[in-house]
């Protein structure tokens, strides 16, 4: 099934919330951002706490339409909400990958390899 590639409109309050979240990043988000910022991961440009429609993606790579989510303990209490959020992103043609806080904090190289592999697969599919 071909996904839609239309742009999701973002309400002003979501844009404001994204700005606030950039100021309040978790330790796992800060660590991952320190490796993604300034195109450090193979020249890929990522944005942090990026608004997409009614959501704020933890990290977003526009070139690959990739949303990277970092899940803390609160996500254990809301699996249905996270699944619905992922499904909505996918309906708009975004690819979503999720990592637990612990994985980011304890094995950042594994996380970076997984992100890079997702982008590589995406590039190969386009060719």
Confidence of residue 72 (pLDDT cuts 50, 70, 90): confident
Confidence of residue 69 (pLDDT cuts 50, 70, 90): very high
Cβ partners under 8 Å of residue 120, min gap 6: none
CA-based nearest residue to 26, from 100, 79, 97, 98: 100
The whole-number average pLDDT for the span 106-122 is 91
Is the model's pLDDT at 8 over the cut of 80?
no
For the chain, domains (ranges, CATH) are: 12-126 (3.40.960.10)
Task: Tell me the torsion sign for CA atoms 114, 115, 119, 122.
Answer: positive
């Amino acid at each position: 099934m071909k996904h839609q590639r239309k742009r999701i409109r973002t309400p002003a309050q979501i844009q404001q919330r994204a700005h606030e979240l950039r100021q309040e990043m978790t330790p796992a988000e800060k660590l991952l951002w320190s490796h993604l910022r300034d195109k450090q991961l193979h020249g890929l440009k990522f944005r942090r706490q990026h608004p997409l429609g009614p959501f704020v993606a933890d990290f977003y790579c526009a070139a690959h339409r990739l949303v990277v989510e970092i899940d803390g303990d609160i996500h254990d209490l809301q699996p249905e909400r996270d699944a619905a959020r992922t499904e909505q992103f996918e309906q708009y043609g975004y690819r979503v990958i999720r990592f637990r806080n612990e994985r980011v904090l304890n094995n950042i190289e594994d996380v970076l390899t997984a992100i890079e592999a997702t982008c590589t697969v995406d590039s190969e599919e386009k060719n």
